[in-house]
Structure 1
């Protein structure tokens, strides 16, 4: 078996199963465990899966227990994110005071924003730079910079949010269920998300359909607390909720 074929098979198995051990992959592919370990190193570096102790995990599964870096997330449901972002950008009016959460779904939104008369606030350093480059007025929260997501968190970020009352806001989530609501792996980011939502009149969560039925480690808002803008194949059990908008259908 050629190396590229073996790498593709590894990704296929890990994505189908969610996780796989080195021993299982070696047995399935008829090769040594040392070869599989080297292959997992390459695939992890290429952001095609996440290497963990003793094996590998699909990026979708790993995203529930830890925040993937922005570069690790790129390529995950990019087309759905672009569709959602294009619709979300049309919701912004000239007089809006807009909060934009950190993350790749909201990064796609920033790339679609054409309304430069609104005032924007974000906890994301990269979003702030992109908004400023588009000619938007933007304020960045204070706080501690979290390198994986480029988000500002901690007491200073919370204190900044307490002063604001947004007319409109957009957030991402790692998991969404009707029981646990909107979830994320990190407590500090969950707190920023929660407080910013509490200070916003019209709340939208941008999420591709793969997030439904998944639960991260920390809840930051109840399921009914925001409109969900989504694209992709929404599970049947979520199709009839009034707060879900399937964009492009």
Structure 2
């Protein structure tokens, strides 16, 4: 079993039972005690669990998972539209934009109609909305992840390398002061991180439900992005405010 698969099994068990025993993990994962201990140590360093004698327990933070497009579309819709409007106001004619797959980033699209821009996305749902709004756009090559209608994988990274962006708008499943910006899928995290590095300015778009949650794979440090959210500064952790710039979408 690969390291990522072991880590995901451990985190799923923590999310379900709030505690795991070392001996149970050794049996379930069919691996050595030293390997499981190393896995637990790595996950603790990421803030995803807390080591205790004989195993590990939940940190108490909610764990963020992937949902289908229809499921996500129903969550925080008004907030996502407000975030989308503010994000779009930062875009200027002549910009080259990377639009990450996601239902929050997709709410930027209706406000871009008529602008002289080019958009690159890895989201099939985003691509459909870009076409509907007659916005010049490209979609990355790569493997399709059916659950989220997202393009990922090595081919997507190679495709992304062809472009440089004025601005990137990235989604996340979890944001916390300790674990930074995270998402459940390692391949998605790698692609998001790569897009940030290829952009002059990068923005993390996130509604209130993403704060205080953590997920499996780190996207970036909070200092690497400006956060656009519907959460007022007063309601955010002071540690988050100190690490990044916050733009509030009223």
What's 1:206 paired with?
Answer: 205
Change (3 A) 1:220 1:77: same
How far apart are 1:61 and its partner, in Å? 4.9
Change (3 A) 1:115 1:89: farther
Change (3 A) 1:241 1:188: closer
What's 2:245 paired with?
Answer: 243
- TM-score normalized with structure 2 length: 0.71
What's 2:133 paired with?
Answer: 134
Change (3 A) 1:113 1:19: farther
What's 2:48 paired with?
Answer: none
- TM-score normalized with structure 1 length: 0.71
Separation in 2 of the partners of 1:131 and 1:169? Answer: 16
Q: CA deviation digits over 1:153-211, x for unaligned, max 9?
A: 01110001112110111011001122221100001111111111110111011101221
How far apart are 1:147 and its partner, in Å? 0.8
The yes-or-no answer on 1:185 pairing with 2:178 is no
Q: Structure 1: any 5+ residue segments left out of the alignment?
A: 1-17, 21-59
Instruction: Indicate the RMSD between aligned Cα atoms, in angstroms.
Output: 2.1
Which residues of 2 match residues 52-91 of structure 1 at below 5 A?
A: 61=62, 64=64, 66-91=65-90
Which residues of 2 match residues 92-107 of structure 1 at below 5 A?
A: 92-107=91-106
How far apart are 1:133 and its partner, in Å? 1.8
Query: What stretches of structure 1 move > 4 A for 4+ residues in a row?
Result: 239-242
How far apart are 1:86 and its partner, in Å? 0.7
What's 1:155 paired with?
Answer: 154
Q: How many pairs are equivalent?
A: 190
Separation in 2 of the partners of 1:94 and 1:163? Answer: 21
How far apart are 1:232 and its partner, in Å? 3.3
What's 1:110 paired with?
Answer: 109
Q: Structure 2: any 5+ residue segments left out of the alignment?
A: 1-14, 18-60
